Amino acid sequence: MKTKTDYLYITTKSNREIVNITDEVREIVKKSGVKEGLVLVNAMHITASVFINDEEPGLKQDFLKWLEELAPEKPDYKHHQTGENNADAHLKRTIMGREVVVAITNGDLDFGPWEQIFYGEFDGQRKKRVLVKVIGE
């Protein structure tokens, strides 16, 4: 069995942003030499997310708007009593998820027709890390 562990480092331009990381993950899979297996992609920060969806700019805007409606930025979260001011980002991350696992078939990501991997940042503008772990043969 082969394994490869790598990291993506992402610094977003905005505090809340959705970034397509499919090409970067695909490149790590190819470098791993794994032909059949799995890749885990994990946001290693509690205010960021990794998820799978369609690459369409309007949909990304819809996600950000929807998340703001579900977990708005506001001053009265209990979490803010600790000195932090990012409770909404923690909630947004919980909604969108922490990680994805994608099958590898014939050395490539085995997706449905429109699937892509995204990094969702909800408390950004600083360097954050994404784990990419490839396992297989």
CATH number for the 2-72+84-136 domain, one of 1.20.59.10, 2.60.120.460, 3.40.640.10, 1.10.600.10? 2.60.120.460
pTM of the model: 0.96
pLDDT tens by residue, 8-22 = 999 999 999 999 999
Position 36 confidence tier, pLDDT thresholds 50, 70, 90? very high
Residue 81 DSSP one-character state:
G
Mean pLDDT of the chain: 97
pLDDT tens by residue, 87-114 = 999 999 999 999 999 999 999 999 999 9
Share of the chain above pLDDT 90, in %: 100
65-94: burial string, b at 16+ Cβ within 10 Å, e else? eebeeebebeeebeeeeeeeebbbbbbbbe
Residue 68, pLDDT score: 98
